[in-house]
Structure 1
Amino acid sequence: MLPHQQNGHKSKVLVFGAGNFGSCLADHLGDSSHTVYMWSRSENLVNHFNQHHRNPEALQDHLFAESITAVGPEFPSAELVQRMDVLLFAIPTEGVRETLTALKPTLEGGKVPLLIFVNKGIETKTHALTLEIIADTCGPEIAKVATFISGPSFAKEIVKRQPTSVSVVSLSAEHAQQASQLFHQPWFRCYTGDDPIGVELAGALKNVYAIAAGIAAGLGFENNTRAMLITRGLAEMTRIGTAYGASPLTFLSLAGVGDLFLTCSSKTSRNYTVGYRLGQGEKLEHIIKTLGSVAEGVTTAKALKAVVDELGVTAQIASGIYDVLYEGRDVEERANELLSLPPNRELDLSEGGKPAQRLMEKLGLTPEV
């Protein structure tokens, strides 16, 4: 158990990443009386934050808890890491492997902190989920106790203490419970689970379908179309997930339909915004340059295409988004092709599970675990 759960002491937490989500979670934990360090590569951000308790690059209007100290731009020292009870990773998926590789020597031979991951994506080059990246870099034993938090949780609402609920999952029920107890508050409710593969897939895939919802709005379509895309997107996500080896029930969770609904129905969603601007006729390169933040659905769409092809499942919406982003297809033309498809069975789960089986074997677990 974490020290604050054993004897009343609060935890020491190091947050990797000072963007919107890393900052809001640091603030949440700091406001809950934990001691929080937040790492950033930006020297200006570190200095400004420590002087003013404001983040000049994210959630600029928010005054952060005084129990948070920004560190960087140098990578956190081994001495600092070894004093931590919790390491929280709020960096883009593409940066997780590099960060964990740098951390590995510090994690060897001593107390391993509770590792919590909140990123949502699939590594583009390897098509790996974060669980597999952890196994590759830090070893199976650390991967088996790593914890993942996902769900409908906009940062700007978390810092306002608006009621929010998330899924907290791990292959280790004990570690999922520890992470849940760390975060749980009346305004930030945590629900535990044991399907990190499904939660990771749901968190990554929903960003792709949010781009589709944004495109529909940009083309002038309204509520019926958005409801159609959310529902059919959920069906595709579930079909891809079950073919991968995840539980279909995971896609009915906060991390599944909850996050999908939020991301597809909010104009403040980065991925929705990318889609909307595509629907309005803007070019992807210009959108990315002027967006001001990372929209992980763009890179996830590329990795997802490879995953879908490997699984051999039908994912018409996801394939359409890939064609628009990476094949130069006209948005309106590709949308009309999707609308012209013949009628089909509404709900159809795929069998398979080989990717999950391979990952469980890498962790030294049987596929049923």
Structure 2
Amino acid sequence: MDVDRSKVLVFGAGNFGSCLADHLGDSAHTVYIWSRDPKVVQHFNKFHHNPDVLRDHTFPASVKAVGPEFPSEEIIREVDVLLFAIPTEGVRETLAALKPKLDISNLPLLIFVNKGIEIATHALTLEIIVDTCGPEIAKQATFISGPSFAKEIVKRQPTSVSVASLSSEHADKASQLFHQPWFRCYTGDDPIGLELAGALKNVYAIAAGMSDGLGFENNTRASLITRGLAEMTRIGIAYGASPLTFLTLAGVGDLFLTCSSSTSRNYTVGYRLGKREKIDYIIKTLGSVAEGVTTAKALKKIVNDLDVSAPIATAVYEVLYEDQDVEERARWLMSLPPIRELDLPEHAAGKPAQRLLQKLELAV
């Protein structure tokens, strides 16, 4: 694989998939971007514009749309990189369709940028990869996360992200592929923690939006972000992730961005809930996916199974799925008894991560 001039196939023509295709296409790579919508494919190839997202942006000629049929075996075996920028709920189906087309003796670099937890199984993407493609492919998979709004990436505004994999070799390759003077990559070896951080921060962004929607200001938002980080870290440790991962760009960096920007979809959901709109109407009129809504349901099950204290995440779940009043839940959070600020578990079993590592054949 020539990291300076690679061929890349991007699954997903949404905001993030499109902006990363643009970034890579502008970095001397040849890029195919797959969409299920024939209108998107035709419009993109004719005008070098995406009619659904980033509408004002002109994409380089090195980026070509393919679809709506699933990419052929010929294309899949031609490319050096497969980049997945689809919602987590679609990853299992996509990988199941992809597996028979892969050349196992000459695998491309697999990069995942989705942020979420599968609802039915409560699985992270790493586990979905194991289930569909096997442990050897999963051990090579790489994950990218961090504070990275699509509209700023296409403007070439300075952006930094975390890149994690169980294979340092593949993390380095992904980092080199993306790294540019306007786009910095920092590698790590904790994809489980990176995935948890990327998924969980969306739930706390909903909480931050609720706070602003209720009319609370800076003190409240700062408290929510800080205590949200404490909850994320506590959940991560109990799950089996490294606590340090939550201090990275994928952790506190992405949490801060998503909780403090009115352009965040998850923040917007929370803000509208704070204004007393109903969640069904918000989802219907949002115009895009807010993964924090579904993640909140999966997270509630994880929190219960791990027996971890996560009152902010619990309150978000109760507003979303139990029709609890958002202002009443805010009062409940503030009326909880005082606790030690640094109350992370000292001896966590980490059973979910242990089970996943056994699937990966990395633990007994």
TM-score in terms of structure 1 length:
0.97
Equivalent-residue separation in structure 2 for 1:359 and 1:121 (angstroms): 16
1:352 and 2:349 are equivalent in the alignment: yes
Equivalent-residue separation in structure 1 for 2:191 and 2:339 (angstroms): 31
> What are the equivalent positions in structure 2 for 1:1-16 lying under 5 Å apart?
2=1, 4-5=2-3, 10-16=5-11
Q: CA deviation at 1:366?
A: 2.7
Equivalent-residue separation in structure 1 for 2:244 and 2:325 (angstroms): 35
Partner residue, 1:366: 363
Equivalent-residue separation in structure 2 for 1:317 and 1:42 (angstroms): 38
Select which of 55, 64, 73 maps to 1:69.
64
Partner residue, 1:211: 206
Equivalent-residue separation in structure 2 for 1:349 and 1:281 (angstroms): 34
Equivalent-residue separation in structure 1 for 2:153 and 2:104 (angstroms): 36
> What are the equivalent positions in structure 2 for 1:1-369 lying under 5 Å apart?
2=1, 4-5=2-3, 10-350=5-345, 351-366=348-363
Q: CA deviation at 1:349?
A: 1.7
SS in 1 for 2:43: helix
Equivalent-residue separation in structure 1 for 2:349 and 2:233 (angstroms): 13
Equivalent-residue separation in structure 2 for 1:215 and 1:297 (angstroms): 13
Q: CA deviation at 1:345?
A: 1.0
Q: CA deviation at 1:130?
A: 0.2
**Counterpart AA for 1:213:** A
Q: CA deviation at 1:60?
A: 0.4
Equivalent-residue separation in structure 1 for 2:225 and 2:329 (angstroms): 18
Q: CA deviation at 1:348?
A: 1.6
**Counterpart AA for 2:355:** R
Q: Is 2:77–2:103's contact at 8 Å kept on the other side of the alignment?
A: no
Equivalent-residue separation in structure 1 for 2:16 and 2:154 (angstroms): 10
Equivalent-residue separation in structure 1 for 2:341 and 2:34 (angstroms): 46
Q: Is 2:139–2:166's contact at 8 Å kept on the other side of the alignment?
A: yes
Q: CA deviation at 1:109?
A: 3.9
Equivalent-residue separation in structure 1 for 2:7 and 2:221 (angstroms): 42
Instruction: Give the 4+ runs in structure 1 shifted more than 6 A.
Output: none
Equivalent-residue separation in structure 2 for 1:342 and 1:109 (angstroms): 55
Equivalent-residue separation in structure 1 for 2:250 and 2:124 (angstroms): 15
Equivalent-residue separation in structure 1 for 2:138 and 2:351 (angstroms): 19
Equivalent-residue separation in structure 2 for 1:352 and 1:346 (angstroms): 22
Equivalent-residue separation in structure 2 for 1:43 and 1:352 (angstroms): 48
**Counterpart AA for 1:357:** Q
Q: CA deviation at 1:305?
A: 0.4
SS in 2 for 1:220: coil
Equivalent-residue separation in structure 1 for 2:8 and 2:342 (angstroms): 43
Equivalent-residue separation in structure 1 for 2:88 and 2:77 (angstroms): 24
TM-score in terms of structure 2 length:
0.98
SS in 2 for 1:144: helix
Equivalent-residue separation in structure 1 for 2:98 and 2:141 (angstroms): 14
Q: CA deviation at 1:335?
A: 1.1
Unpaired segments ≥5 residues, structure 2: none
Which has the larger displacement, 256-265 or 331-340?
331-340
Describe the superposition over 1:56-108 as per-residue Cα deviations: whole angstroms up to 9, x where unpaired.
Answer: 00100101111000000100011110101000000000000000000010125
SS in 1 for 2:52: coil
Unpaired segments ≥5 residues, structure 1: none
Aligned residue pairs total: 362
**Counterpart AA for 2:337:** P
SS in 1 for 2:184: strand
SS in 2 for 1:91: coil
Equivalent-residue separation in structure 1 for 2:17 and 2:104 (angstroms): 28
Describe the superposition over 1:299-352 as per-residue Cα deviations: whole angstroms up to 9, x where unpaired.
Answer: 000000001011010000000000000011111111111111111111122212
**Counterpart AA for 2:282:** I
**Counterpart AA for 2:222:** A
SS in 2 for 1:69: strand
Percent sequence identity is 77
**Counterpart AA for 1:274:** V
